[in-house]
């Protein structure tokens, strides 16, 4: 009973982090048809920004905010400087550029911050608590992880569903040409989309780092799990990304807890294959075909 | 008044428009006719800046729009309803309409009511995803959406495509009403020449990217030789 509960809680916490990372990928994919392979190193470098701020004796929260803001700026800058110049060319060009960025950002991080392991603080305890006889594995930081991802998601829903700007962003994502004819500044919407995606990616970077170690490659496995979560959800659907992240997190937690932690990567692949065999478009695929 | 002067547009080596000149007078309907591949869609896309001309100019009430980015056209009074209608099917009916006002920088709830009064079927389905609309309803939606920007000039690319004759007649009658009541200027691209000429004041005929005829609609409709040569009826 205790193990079941704790496996589930660990899975949900982990799933939330995957969900955030998957959401970052989906936000870019659905508006530009680009898989941003640089998402992991982008989140890595913004986490180093937080670490630098914290090491300079500012509080965790100042570092946290600095990381999210630098994510916004980094996302916007990459869209403007790297992606925009190949707009209108085959999407593969931009995808390869994001792969190039993957390498470049790694190198820059190693130069600026060194490649040794450094510990990253957590703002809340990383120990569970006791309810009667039962040891509950939900930690203060786990609650913070779930809560912060939920808050970010609710804010994104409010933006996309509840504001004029969000409506224009969705229009630009769904149909660039028509949006342009209606007067939507499509380029600005894409810049903003990249900025928001990088912010969400930065959050996942901070959450993975919390109470753990960072080095220039610490996010690289997240790209695999985040990508699997995004594909599980259908790549096009923000809700799907979140559900995909949770499904993956809980499943992998059970595999790790009951079967063996060395099988986690294999299990992720297995889940992906099963879902894609049953629903080739992902869990949340739309029936409507779309112009790409 | 919308004018184009010596407009030439190419796709790589393929020349789709050759030195096309005509004027669409204010408050009137100008039909642009011609066979499939004549260059009608290219003409509208060049006017709204989706493709850039090799040479020539586009003027709206004497303002040069030739190099103006597409995104600014709606706010300047030029609305283009593209071929295949351009409904954003993932958005609701109301969101599509709001977007028409927002993009032009002038969303007003009163405009929404006006469009719903014009097309009551849209009011009934305002919260539905546009995906569920029929072809005729989609055409009403995109015309309504264009009206949300309060345009001076409305470019329509084959609005009758795929619609039942009864629906085409209904939509064309409504268009004619708007032109008469509000002084809207319409450039109506059609392969369905007979229907288009029934509501147009003027007509121009494109053939292989060249403008071959420019005349009053009634004259075009009555000229048997011309009808046979270019208009297919
Ligand atoms: N994107 C494009 N690339 C290359 N050629 C094109 C493109 N669009 C249209 N054309 C060519 O330009 C000519 C005019 O096409 P179009 O303007 O679509 O004609 P219409 O709308 O009258 O049917 C045709 O020969 C067509 O094949
Ligand atoms: Mg056409």
Residue A278 in this model has a pLDDT that exceeds 90: no
**Å from CA of B9 to ligand 1 middle:** 10
Q: Which of A253-257, A260-264, B128-132, B148-152 is the least confident region?
A: A260-264
In 10 A of CB B133, how many CB atoms? 21
Rounded Cα distance between A52 and A57, Å, is: 9
Please tell me whether residues B195 and B92 are part of one structural domain. Answer: no
Question: Which of B144, B177, B192 is at the close of a domain?
Answer: B144
Total structural domains within chain B? 2
Q: Please give the domain boundaries of chain A with CATH numbers for all domains.
A: 2-116+136-278 (1.10.3470)
A31-50 mean pLDDT: 94
Question: Which of B144, B159, B187 is at the close of a domain?
Answer: B144
The pTM for the full model equals 0.90
CA dist list (Å): A61 to A53, A121, A143, A199, B52 = 10, 11, 16, 15, 50
Structure confidence at residue B51 (pLDDT): 96
Please tell me whether residues B109 and B67 are part of one structural domain. Answer: no
Please tell me whether residues B117 and B202 are part of one structural domain. Answer: no
CA atoms within 13 A on the CB side of A95: 9
Burial of A277 (0-12, 13-18, 19+ CB in 10 A): exposed
Structure confidence at residue B231 (pLDDT): 78
pLDDT block averages, 10 residues each, chain B of length 233: 96 94 96 94 97 96 95 96 92 97 92 95 95 94 96 96 93 93 94 92 95 92 83 76
Neighboring chain A residues of B71 at a CB cutoff of 8 Å:
180, 183-186
CA dist list (Å): B181 to A17, B27, B184, B185, B201 = 58, 9, 8, 11, 15
Question: Which of B128, B144, B160 is at the close of a domain?
Answer: B144
Which A residues, 88 through 107, put their C-beta within 8 Å of a C-beta on chain B? Answer: none
Q: Is the CB of B45 under 6 A from ligand 1?
A: no
Residue A288 in this model has a pLDDT that exceeds 60: no
Q: What is the pLDDT of residues A128-156, one digit of tens each?
A: 778 888 788 888 899 999 999 999 999 99
Q: What is the pLDDT of residues A170-190, one digit of tens each?
A: 999 999 999 999 999 999 999
3-state helix, strand and coil shares in percent for chain A, rounded to the nearest 5: 75, 5, 20
Q: Which domain holds residue B176?
A: 2-77+151-231
Cross-chain residue pair B90–A288, CB shorter than 8 Å = yes
Any CB–CB contact under 8 A between B224 and chain A?
no
Please tell me whether residues B9 and B54 are part of one structural domain. Answer: yes
Any CB–CB contact under 8 A between A285 and chain B?
no
Structure confidence at residue A286 (pLDDT): 58
Please tell me whether residues B209 and B227 are part of one structural domain. Answer: yes
In 10 A of CB A237, how many CB atoms? 20
Q: H/E element holding B189?
A: strand B185-190
A87-109 mean pLDDT: 92
Please tell me whether residues B155 and B223 are part of one structural domain. Answer: yes
Q: H/E element holding B147?
A: helix B135-147
Please tell me whether residues B93 and B194 are part of one structural domain. Answer: no
Q: Is the CB of B177 under 6 A from ligand 1?
A: no
Structure confidence at residue A57 (pLDDT): 94
Rounded Cα distance between A276 and A283, Å, is: 8
Please tell me whether residues B157 and B182 are part of one structural domain. Answer: yes
Please tell me whether residues B68 and B131 are part of one structural domain. Answer: no
- Quickly state the pLDDT bin for A289 (edges 50, 70, 90): very low
Q: What is the pLDDT of residues B27-81, one digit of tens each?
A: 999 999 999 999 999 999 999 999 999 999 999 999 999 999 999 999 999 999 9
Residue A291 in this model has a pLDDT that exceeds 70: no
Cross-chain residue pair A182–B50, CB shorter than 8 Å = no
- This complex has an ipTM of 0.95
Neighboring chain B residues of A178 at a CB cutoff of 8 Å:
82, 86, 88
**Å from CA of B181 to ligand 2 middle:** 28
Please tell me whether residues B42 and B89 are part of one structural domain. Answer: no
Q: Find tokens 């629906």 and name the residue.
A: B167
Q: H/E element holding A191?
A: helix A186-209
């Amino acid at each position: 009973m205790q193990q079941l509960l704790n496996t589930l809680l660990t899975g949900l916490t982990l799933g939330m982090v995957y969900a955030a990372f998957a959401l970052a990928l989906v936000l870019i994919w659905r508006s530009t048809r680009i898989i941003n392979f640089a998402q992991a190193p982008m989140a890595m470098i913004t986490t180093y920004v937080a670490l630098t701020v914290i090491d300079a004796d500012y509080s965790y929260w100042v570092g946290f905010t600095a990381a999210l803001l630098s994510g916004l700026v980094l996302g916007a800058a990459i869209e403007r400087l790297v992606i925009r110049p190949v707009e209108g060319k085959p999407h593969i060009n931009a995808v390869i550029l994001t792969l190039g960025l993957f390498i470049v950002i790694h190198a820059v991080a190693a130069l600026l911050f060194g490649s040794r392991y450094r510990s990253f603080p957590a703002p809340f305890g990383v120990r569970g608590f006791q309810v009667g006889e039962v040891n509950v594995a939900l930690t203060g930081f786990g609650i913070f992880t779930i809560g912060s991802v939920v808050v970010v998601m609710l804010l994104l829903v409010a933006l996309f569903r509840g504001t004029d700007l969000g409506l224009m962003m969705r229009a630009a994502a769904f149909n660039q040409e028509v949006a342009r004819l209606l007067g939507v500044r499509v380029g600005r919407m894409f810049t903003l989309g990249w900025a928001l995606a990088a912010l969400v990616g930065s959050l996942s970077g901070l959450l993975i780092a919390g109470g753990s170690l960072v080095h220039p490659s610490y996010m690289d496995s997240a790209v695999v799990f985040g990508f699997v979560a995004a594909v599980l959800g259908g790549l096009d659907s923000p809700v799907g990304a979140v559900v995909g992240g949770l499904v993956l997190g809980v499943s992998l937690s059970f595999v790790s807890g009951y079967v063996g932690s060395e099988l986690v990567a294999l299990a992720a692949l297995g889940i992906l294959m099963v879902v894609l065999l049953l629903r080739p478009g992902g869990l949340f695929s739309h029936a409507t075909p779309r112009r790409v | 008044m919308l004018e184009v002067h010596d407009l030439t547009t190419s796709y790589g080596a393929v020349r789709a428009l050759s030195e096309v000149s005509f004027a669409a007078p204010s408050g009137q309907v100008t039909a642009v006719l011609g066979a499939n591949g004549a260059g009608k869609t290219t003409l509208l896309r060049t006017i709204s800046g989706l493709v850039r001309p090799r040479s020539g100019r586009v003027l709206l009430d004497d303002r040069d729009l030739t190099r103006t980015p597409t995104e600014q056209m709606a706010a300047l009074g030029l609305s283009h309803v593209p071929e295949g209608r351009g409904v954003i099917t993932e958005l609701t009916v109301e969101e599509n309409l709001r977007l028409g006002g927002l993009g032009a920088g002038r969303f007003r709830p009163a405009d929404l009511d006006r469009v719903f009064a014009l097309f009551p079927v849209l009011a009934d389905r305002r919260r539905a995803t546009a995906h569920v609309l029929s072809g005729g309803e989609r055409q009403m939606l995109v015309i309504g959406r264009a009206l949300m920007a309060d345009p001076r000039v409305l470019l329509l690319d084959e609005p009758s495509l795929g619609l039942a004759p009864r629906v085409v007649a209904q939509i064309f009658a409504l268009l004619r009403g708007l032109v008469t009541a509000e002084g809207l200027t319409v450039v109506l691209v059609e392969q369905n020449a007979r229907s288009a000429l029934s509501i147009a004041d003027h007509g121009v005929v494109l053939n292989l990217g060249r403008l071959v005829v420019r005349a009053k609609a009634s004259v075009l409709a009555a000229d048997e030789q011309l009808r046979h040569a270019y208009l297919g009826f």
